[in-house]
Amino acid sequence: MAEATFMNGVPELLVLRCLRDREMYGYELVQEIRDRTGAVVTLGEGVVYPLLHALERKGALQSRRKSVQGRSRVYYSITPKGAERLTGLSGTWSSLAGAIQQVMQGEAHAGPV
């Protein structure tokens, strides 16, 4: 539960970051996130779609149905609004990660009492 709370906002950040490079469909996106994070972050295979739909409704993503090798898929790509959102989320994430890192390093330096 604590881990789930800590992960709030992370799937959105990762989805936007991956889609910034190229358009992808759901299955591809989940594999991409798993590969890029070295399987440290694995999104639920099926639960990525509600997030994609919600981001599309917010105007951060756009989708189109495309046939590749005879199979029809919904491809998602980032919009300028989504890119702006990604910049904001990345900034927040970087400062948060930096702050946590600082605390962790301080703990290591303090050593046992």
Partner 1 sequence: MPDPSEPLRDTLLRAGVAPVHVRRYLRELSEHFSDLVGEEREAGKSPTEAEAAARARLGGDEALAGAMLAQPSLRSWTGRAPLATLVIAPILLVVLAWVLACLGIIFLIGWPADPNNLNPRPAWVPPEWLPRTWQPPIGTAVLDLVQFGGPILVGSWVALLAARQRSRLIWPLLGCVAVALFGASLFWHAHWPAVDPRDPLHRLSFGLSMGFRGDHMSDHHHSFSFAVWSQSLPMGAFNLAVAGAVYWWARRRQLAA
Stretch that binds partner 1, among 12-20, 68-76, 84-92, 96-104 (CB under 8 A): 68-76
Residue 61 binding partner 1, by CB under 8 A: no
When the beta carbons of 49 and 93 are compared against partner 1, the nearer one is 49
Assign 3-class secondary structure to the chain: CHHHHHCCCHHHHHHHHHHHHCCEEHHHHHHHHHHHCCCCCCCCCCCHHHHHHHHHHCCCEEEEEEEECCEEEEEEEECHHHHHHHHHHHHHHHHHHHHHHHHHHHHHHHCCC
Among 9, 45, 91, 96, binds partner 1 (CB under 8 A): 45
Asked if 53 touches partner 1 (CB under 8 A), the answer is yes
Residue among 44 and 98 whose Cβ is closer to partner 1: 44
Rg of the chain, C-alpha, whole Å: 17
Rule CB under 8 A: choose which of 13, 23, 62, 73 binds partner 1.
73
Binding mask 74-103 for partner 1 (x = CB under 8 A): x-----------------------------
Q: Shortest approach of partner 1 to residue 39 CB, angstroms?
A: 13
- The helix-helix angle for 26-36 and 48-57 (nearest 10°) equals 110
